[in-house]
Amino acid sequence: MRLKEKVALITGGGSGIGAAVARRFAEEGAFVAIGDVNPRGGEQVADEIKRRGGRSIFCQVDVRKRDEVNRMIDQVVQEFGRLDILINNAGVTRDNLSARMSEEEWDFVVDVNLKGTFLCSQAAFRPMRKQRYGKIVNTASVVVRGNMGQVNYSSSKAGIIGLTRTLALEYARANINVNCIAPGFIDTPMSAAMPEKTKELALDRIPIKRMGTPEEVANLHLFLASDEANYITGQVIFIDGGASIGI
């Protein structure tokens, strides 16, 4: 097992990619903590892992709030004794054209996606530094290249890339690897809510001509969270069926 008895925390782990990562990590022997603002989804994933013989807990958290993030990290360390892996997966959208976007729509997306990633990474650094080991994998997006109606989302995800590279430099001295995954069009509840015409246009830009699956993204998370990736840090890997290449 590639993550035997490693302790992994996945934010946004109650659905979509986060839930797939949680299940994949549990299959590889990890003790899994699910951090999510939604108790229903988070508890369901944690219970599923336990029914399959794994160890898992649910931590309700709003990643925009430092106190809640710190409490989540403390809960994980208290339960499992350490924290080896942090998957910063929690994310939201509030789409609108930039000329019409409200301050609330901007702030909410940037606070959850970018500030949340920063707060969780900062809090996880404390136990990881003490044990001189850690893997942090952040979540950007193919839309860092720009996307109509998503100025808040694309800006937050571009910021996560800068955050990843800076944390990789700062955390290396504590033997903590920090990398970033940039998914493309993935079959999740978020993409399911898109209008059919938007889906068709998105698929048309993908050379492989299909959506990705959460499980395919989870496999990349698994590699970066494992000791197989010990010499990889500060990197951004696109998993998008080729959508980010070409013209």
pLDDT in tens, 9-28: 999 999 999 999 999 999 99
Determine which one of 133, 153, 171, 231 is catalytic. 153
Residue range of the domain that includes 111: 7-239
Helices (H), the chain: 16-27, 39-51, 66-80, 103-110, 116-131, 151-171, 189-192, 196-204, 214-225
Q: How many domains does the chain have?
A: 1
Q: Is residue 164 part of a domain?
A: yes
Burial of 161 (0-12, 13-18, 19+ CB in 10 A): middle
Give domain status of residue 31, yes or no: yes
The pTM assigned to this predicted structure is: 0.96
In this structure, is residue 32 part of a structural domain? Answer: yes
Please report whether residue 84 resides in a domain: yes
Other beta carbons less than 10 A from residue 165's beta carbon:
17
Q: Catalytic: 231?
A: no
Q: Which two tokens stand for residue 75?
A: 């809960």
Residue 66 in tokens? 């430092």
Coil vs helix vs strand at 181 = strand
8 Å CB contact between 180 and 161: yes
pLDDT score for 247 = 58
Instruction: Kindly state whether residue 90 falls inside one of the protein's structural domains.
Output: yes
Provide the pLDDT for residue 189: 77
Kindly report, residue by residue over 155-195, the tens digit of the pLDDT: 999 999 999 999 999 999 999 999 999 999 999 877 777 77
Residue 44 in any domain: the answer is yes
Give domain status of residue 247, yes or no. no
> What CA–CA distance (Å, rounded) separates 33 from 45?
10
Q: Where are the beta strands (DSSP E) in 38-127?
A: 56-60, 85-87
pLDDT (tens digit per residue) in 33-63? 999 999 999 999 999 999 999 999 999 999 9
Tens digit of each residue's pLDDT (9 = 90 or more) over 215-225: 999 999 999 99
Residue 105's alpha-carbon distances to 2, 87, 95, in angstroms, are: 40, 25, 8
What's the CATH number where 182 sits? 3.40.50.720
Domain for residue 1, yes or no?
Answer: no
